[in-house]
Copies of this chain bind each other. A is one copy, B any other.
Amino acid sequence: MISIQTVAQERPNIVVFLVDDMGWQDTSVPFWKDTTVLNKQFRTPNMLRLASEGMKFTNAYATPVCTPSRVSLITGMNAAHHHVTNWTSPEKNKNTDAADDLFNPADWNINGLSPVKNIPSTVYATVLPQLLKDAGYFTIHAGKAHWAPAGTPGANPVNMGFIVNIAGHSAGHPQSYLGTENYGNLPGKASAQAVPDLEEFWGTETFLTEALTRASLKALDQPILQHQPFYLYLAHYAVHLPIMTDNRFIQKYIDAGLSPVEANYASMIEGMDKSLGDLMQYLKEKKADKNTIIIFMSDNGGLSLAPPRGGEPHTQNLPLKAGKGSVYEGGIREPMIVKWPGVVKPGSSTSQYVMIEDFFPSILELARIKDSKTIQETDGKSFIPILKNPAYLDTNRVLVWHMPNKWTGKDGPGINYFSAVRQGNWKMVYNMRTGKKELYNLHTDIGENNDLASFFPEKVKSLSAILSEKLRAWNSPMPKYKNTGKSVPLPDGE
């Protein structure tokens, strides 16, 4: 009898290399028209190499914070649709929204994603790795999971269809990146963020990024030995807080005059880049590079709260405005690169806008899995046509961001209670607190500095209608006024 693997063997291997909280400019790779000061500040030679071998997406988007993006990726749903609009606590039934004077919290899915029915306050959905596993893929999770709180099925990546789970659980960041601190697992001091597994590296100088990489490559030995196609979801904890020193790379950034915190941040970026390089090197050695697709992505914009970041607040993603938590470009535009040997033209680039939920149908298509039955209606659109044709252009597509949440105690630009919509080069931002609508032309104003709302009222009206229609169709959660108990109106006023 021919086993499933024998048939599946011809399918490509797929790697999603997901970085946490990495900004659009936190790389040597120029994702804008010009090479920026930030591009020169960071050192990511392996990303440069990946870009030279693949396609750069200059208009790739995620949601403003982590869990919504991760749920979108694994379900194919927009965050306004899956209702996991904020990050989930490691603790069950705990709303992470900050307290607010004006609003009571929206009714979002505070328990995240569940692959099992009837778990309260979750979105119940068919998940990508399960479909891949069912189709014969060897599925590996490494790093940050953060789909759901402890005490729910979604807490454990194994319940999402991952055969192997390395260090993924309910927490959204590591307690420590240091092997010398056991990644947080110090008796009596471990928090909910203590990183599970990787015990062989405890007490050593191994930075978490390196430990995850080594463990991932070790896990890849099995499908490679078995000639089974694999799906590796290498979701680094880096470069999320706590910003710590990766000793292997720090000195050059200190020498370059960066502040201590920004030097640390840059060392974490370079450690992440080394992981990418080690992965590519490993695939080459195993002669698996030609049949492996690598998708590089971040889950939201770079953190622009300062402190904990250095510099002036909300300048860390320039030329983009603001950062993590914001619906402005700094919070949502991501460094995305796809290498697909033999198909994607090396060194190519696309400005077609894509979104994190597009990963779901795209990866299924790459794995040649057709007609999957999913519990949920998916919203993502495959980016395979773009990969096959850099000139592909669709300016009619509508992208939606929706964060009816108070992510952080103090409002910032585009941060706390915002929605946004993009169609073509037009982007409208809706402030739920004030009702104000802003309109930007991203082609001429990537920094969203010139609000054109008063000049193009018809455009504002049509984008309001489009956004409202989506939110209405998805029954998207909205914050409620404390004084009336009523929901905040949609952008079209209803």
Q: Please give the residue numbers on chain A whose beta carbons come within 8 Å of chain B beta carbons, in ascending order.
A: 1-6, 9, 92, 133-134, 136, 150-156, 158-159, 163-165, 169-170, 182, 185, 187-192, 194, 196-204, 215, 218-219, 222, 225-228
A199 near B5 with CB under 8 A, answer no
Q: How far is the CA of A201 from the CA of B169 in the complex (A)?
A: 12
B188 near A227 with CB under 8 A, answer no
CB-based closest 7 A-B pairs: A151-B203, A150-B202, A190-B190, A155-B199, A156-B200, A150-B199, A3-B5
Give A290 Cβ to nearest chain B Cβ, in Å: 17
Instruction: Tell me the dominant secondary structure on chain A's binding face.
Output: loop
Q: How far is the CA of A150 from the CA of B3 in the complex (A)?
A: 38
Count this chain's copies in the assembly.
2
Residues of B within 8 A of A134 (CB): 225
Residues of B within 8 A of A197 (CB): 156, 165, 196-197
The 21 sampled A-B contact pairs (Cβ below 8 Å) are: A1-B6, A3-B6, A3-B226, A3-B227, A5-B226, A92-B203, A133-B222, A134-B225, A136-B226, A150-B202, A155-B200, A156-B198, A156-B199, A159-B200, A163-B164, A187-B190, A190-B190, A190-B194, A196-B197, A196-B199, A197-B197
Partner of A203, one of B150, B196, B203: B150
Residues of B within 8 A of A218 (CB): 158-159
Partner of A199, one of B1, B4, B169: B169
Q: Known: A189-B188, A194-B190. Is A226-B151 also a contact (CB below 8 A)?
A: no
4 A-B pairs besides A1-B227, A151-B203 with CB distance below 8 A are A136-B226, A163-B164, A188-B191, A190-B194
Chain B's closest residue to A156 (CB) is B200
Chain B's closest residue to A185 (CB) is B190
B4 near A227 with CB under 8 A, answer yes
Residues of B within 8 A of A150 (CB): 182, 199-200, 202-203
Residues of B within 8 A of A204 (CB): 151
A219 near B158 with CB under 8 A, answer yes
Which of A154, A191, A197 has the largest count of B CB atoms less than 10 A from its CB? A197
Partner of A190, one of B2, B153, B188, B225: B188
Residues of B within 8 A of A164 (CB): 163-164
Chain B's closest residue to A158 (CB) is B218
A199 near B226 with CB under 8 A, answer no
Give A154 Cβ to nearest chain B Cβ, in Å: 8
B202 near A151 with CB under 8 A, answer yes
Chain B's closest residue to A140 (CB) is B163
Residues of B within 8 A of A192 (CB): 187
Q: How far is the CA of A6 from the CA of B4 in the complex (A)?
A: 9
Residues of B within 8 A of A199 (CB): 150-151, 155-156, 169-170, 196
Residues of B within 8 A of A196 (CB): 196-197, 199
Q: Known: A3-B9, A192-B187. Is A163-B222 also a contact (CB below 8 A)?
A: yes
B201 near A151 with CB under 8 A, answer yes
A158 near B215 with CB under 8 A, answer yes
B4 near A225 with CB under 8 A, answer yes
Q: How far is the CA of A165 from the CA of B165 in the complex (A)?
A: 8
Give A124 Cβ to nearest chain B Cβ, in Å: 15
Q: How far is the CA of A219 from the CA of B158 in the complex (A)?
A: 8
Q: How far is the CA of A188 from the CA of B1 in the complex (A)?
A: 53
Chain B's closest residue to A201 (CB) is B151
Residues of B within 8 A of A154 (CB): 200
Give A190 Cβ to nearest chain B Cβ, in Å: 4
Partner of A200, one of B9, B133, B151, B219: B151
Which of A155, A185, A194, A201 has the largest count of B CB atoms less than 10 A from its CB? A185
Residues of B within 8 A of A170 (CB): 199
Chain B's closest residue to A196 (CB) is B196
Residues of B within 8 A of A169 (CB): 199
Q: How far is the CA of A467 from the CA of B136 in the complex (A)?
A: 53
Q: How far is the CA of A133 from the CA of B188 in the complex (A)?
A: 37
Q: How far is the CA of A202 from the CA of B155 in the complex (A)?
A: 10
Chain B's closest residue to A179 (CB) is B151
Q: How far is the CA of A265 from the CA of B470 in the complex (A)?
A: 58
